[in-house]
A and B are shown apart, each in its own frame.
Chain A
Amino acid sequence: MDFNYSDEQKLLIDSVERFVKDDYDFDTRRAIVKSEAGFRRDLWQQFGELGWLAVPFSEEDGGLGGTPVETMIIMESFGKGLVVEPYLSTVVMAGGLLKLGGTAAQKEAILPDLMAGGLIVAVGYAEPSSRFNLADVSTTASASGDGYVLKGHKSVVLHGPMADKLIVSARTSGDRRDADGITLFLVDAGAAGVSRQDYPTVDGLRASEVILENVQVSAADIVGPLGGGLALLDQVVDEAIAAICAEAVGAMEVLHKATLEYCRTRVQFGQPIGRFQVIQHRLVDMYMAYEQAKSMAIMANLKLDAEPAERRRAVSAAKVQIGKSARFVGQQAVQLHGGMGMTDELNVGHYFKRLTMIETLFGNTDFHLKRYAA
């Protein structure tokens, strides 16, 4: 058993943390969030040059052969800076689906460009009434000639507005909530019949409602097995959950430290409020919530390679802990900062908002408690 980072991993931590500190301060991030594009392509390309976008891919796919620990490191550091660029969607999710289910031709066509910071891919797995159930797919893919015709509505596609390509789940057979019959398709964002409604999310990201109206795709655009896309999606969403758990840990660390510092310096009734025991114990509770969350994020990332039942249980357990800790740390950070915590000007509220959305993303605490207990 070993909880230490290797020397190479320590270098990666240094490099991502330095980027966040020097090149992604809060004002920079604020400008990005307010910009038309909602992300910075030059920074994204810089991630590519630094090799960060190649981390999880195997060496034969042209990647760096990293483990989930490397992804965890990047996401935790990104969490500290509330980085809005599409790492989760493009590298962890779309990259994960192609890595596990892509054909040689798909990998060759997409991965080099993706890793270089050129091509951005987003994933459509949710629908207006699917809630968190990945098997609840109403979008249809009907066989037509050599290919398929897609019809349906994928909702809240994160990073959809900046995506060049999409991977969407659609039903090639079976009834609405059947586990079998779900197939994943690669679709050009600009293909005929694809229309998007783009919008900002409350946590500073961008998302799209994607309407598929008789979109023609070929059999060569299928990612993974025909009708067997759910297991693939399930695994990649678990990997994405482990990644956002790490992101949440980074965000919680910033909030905890900022709140601690504030309570040390904010004077009320003639003394720093950190002298009051009621405040001290609250800060200790935040610290414990953060540490427990960090333990679970590490656990989940180290169990991603376990067999599916164990992986699922580990990931759900972590998501429950992160959901509870993130809510507590976020709410208390706002509370202890008082009125300042309520302002748009201070960074605290922005971390709280991202943590709140992480709590919801891929299934909230209730959903994962149920999945764990099932």
Chain B
Amino acid sequence: MDLAFSAEDLAFQREVREFIAANYPADIRARFDAGLEPRKEDFVRWQKILYEKGWIAPGWPKEYGGTGWTATQKYIFQEELGAANTPGIIPFGLAMVAPVIYTFGSEEQKKRFLPGILSSDVWWCQGYSEPGSGSDLASLKTKAVRQGDKYIVNGSKTWTTMAQWADWIFCLVRTDSTVKQQEGISFLLFDMKSPGVTVRPIITLEGGHEVNECFFDNVEVPVENLIGEEGMGWTYAKFLLGHERSGIAAVARSKRGIAKLKKIANAEQADGAPLIEDPDFRRKLAELEIDLTALEYTELRTLARESQGKGPGPESSILKIKGTEIQQAITEMAVEAAGYYAFAFNRRAMDGSNEPIIGPAATAFAAPSYFNMRKTSIYGGSNEIQKNIIAKMVLGL
């Protein structure tokens, strides 16, 4: 046992750090550092930079464009991206549909879809949740009926993240209603520009537009867009959920969040002294930092198991639960730290439209971030569902 990075790992860390310093565009950095709402072009531009370098898909097997890095190297890469506050790599193409395609797809599908995912020329979205099926995903009702060499898709999806920017969707559809719920589901890919697809924004409580409703009205999908076998969609979906969970703990993001929180607490005055000197505040901050340290070491232990070929198992549900609890707690404390200026709704400034900010810059989006981060314990399988997973898969209950 040893906490030190090897000489090779340290050299790798330096290489990543230097690459980011030299190649992370200043305008995107400014936008992200100010906490403004990200734009599609920011994500795409940054992902293309990583793609050119060959670093866009560390989780993929080498033959398809992966990096062949060790678990420690992947961890270092995540840490460095997080520390530099780069745009997060959008998971829908690279981390979600791609592993399904290269694991269960045909040669033809791999050739057709993987290059566009790697180069970030094709933006994907995830068609899982439906208005009536929240955590009970298998109850989905969107129907695909085969007619000759086409499926006719009817139904709707919801909470579809960034569907407004998506070129393609990977979609769970019901192809058989006569069998057990889980056995009648298939995994379909289709073009979001297909006739019959409508996307409507859902504005979330902080005022942002991340998620959408998608309606499918007699959308025609060629049968060659079916992944694997008809009726096996649930198996592929479960595979996807268990895949590529690195980064799910968001440790680097939370470290940055705590640094920002400290900045706010240094600037805020309470009874003539900086808030950070208040014993109650310090105590809560210390608890948060300790929670995060524990999570970081739990993640490192998980990675160590993975590098021995074990996992990523259902244990990684811990990372999701603790990671989201900590992210939420940080934003919660930022609102507390901001005091009265948390009231100011700097909505237009958040778009980056040069509207002057009311109050200090560091607290300008504290409340919207807090409101927005409530999503983390709901999405990706709610934390209650994660506990069901651990109870069943780890504890054998």
A: residues with CB less than 8 A from B are: 1-5, 9, 69, 260, 263-264, 274-275, 277, 280-281, 283-285, 287-288, 291-296, 298-299, 302-303, 317, 320-321, 369-370, 372-373
How many Å lie between the Cα of A372 and that of B286 in the bound state? Answer: 7
Chain B contact residues: helix, strand, loop or mixed:
helix
How many Å lie between the Cα of A260 and that of B293 in the bound state? Answer: 27
CB distance B390 to A373 under 8 Å? Answer: no
CB distance A302 to B384 under 8 Å? Answer: no
CB distance A373 to B318 under 8 Å? Answer: no
> Would you give the shortest CB distance from A75 to chain B, in whole angstroms?
15
Q: Which residues of A contact B289 (CB under 8 A)?
A: 317, 372
Residues of chain B in range 280-320 having any CB-CB distance to chain A below 8 Å: 282-283, 285-287, 289-291, 293-298, 300-301, 304, 308, 315, 318
Of the listed stretches B2-10, B172-180, B184-192, B204-212, name the one at the interface; the rest are far from the partner chain: B2-10
CB distance B1 to A69 under 8 Å? Answer: yes
> Would you give the shortest CB distance from A313 to chain B, in whole angstroms?
9
CB distance B1 to A5 under 8 Å? Answer: yes
> Would you give the shortest CB distance from A287 to chain B, in whole angstroms?
6
CB distance A287 to B394 under 8 Å? Answer: yes
CB distance A264 to B397 under 8 Å? Answer: yes
CB distance A281 to B298 under 8 Å? Answer: no
CB distance B388 to A1 under 8 Å? Answer: no
How many Å lie between the Cα of A263 and that of B391 in the bound state? Answer: 12
How many Å lie between the Cα of A281 and that of B383 in the bound state? Answer: 10
CB distance B295 to A298 under 8 Å? Answer: no
Q: Is B141 an interface residue (CB 8 A)?
A: no
CB distance A284 to B391 under 8 Å? Answer: yes
Residue of B nearest to A277 (CB): B388
B: residues with CB less than 8 A from A are: 1-6, 9, 72, 282-283, 285-287, 289-291, 293-298, 300-301, 304, 308, 315, 318, 321-322, 384, 387-388, 390-391, 394-397
CB distance A281 to B391 under 8 Å? Answer: yes
CB distance A302 to B2 under 8 Å? Answer: yes
How many Å lie between the Cα of A69 and that of B282 in the bound state? Answer: 32
> Would you give the shortest CB distance from B268 to chain A, in whole angstroms?
17
How many Å lie between the Cα of A4 and that of B310 in the bound state? Answer: 13
CB distance A372 to B290 under 8 Å? Answer: yes
Q: Which residues of A contact B291 (CB under 8 A)?
A: 292, 321
Q: Which residues of B contact A280 (CB under 8 A)?
A: 387-388, 391, 395, 397
Q: Which residues of A contact B321 (CB under 8 A)?
A: 288
CB distance B395 to A287 under 8 Å? Answer: yes
CB distance A320 to B287 under 8 Å? Answer: yes
Once A274-B397, A284-B387 are accepted as A-B contacts, the answer to whether A299 and B297 lie under 8 Å apart by CB is yes
How many Å lie between the Cα of A321 and that of B388 in the bound state? Answer: 24
Q: Which residues of A contact B394 (CB under 8 A)?
A: 287
CB distance B300 to A373 under 8 Å? Answer: no
Once A280-B395, A296-B293 are accepted as A-B contacts, the answer to whether A3 and B304 lie under 8 Å apart by CB is yes
Q: Which residues of B contact A298 (CB under 8 A)?
A: 1, 297, 301
CB distance A281 to B297 under 8 Å? Answer: no
CB distance B395 to A260 under 8 Å? Answer: yes
How many Å lie between the Cα of A213 and that of B1 in the bound state? Answer: 47
Q: Which residues of A contact B318 (CB under 8 A)?
A: 287-288, 291
CB distance A369 to B283 under 8 Å? Answer: yes
Once A1-B5, A1-B9, A2-B304 are accepted as A-B contacts, the answer to whether A373 and B397 lie under 8 Å apart by CB is no
Of B283, B308, B391, B397, the contact of A370 (CB 8 Å cutoff): B283
Q: Which residues of A contact B396 (CB under 8 A)?
A: 264
Q: Which 8 A-B pairs have the closest CB atoms?
A: A295-B297, A280-B391, A3-B304, A373-B286, A292-B294, A373-B282, A295-B298, A284-B387
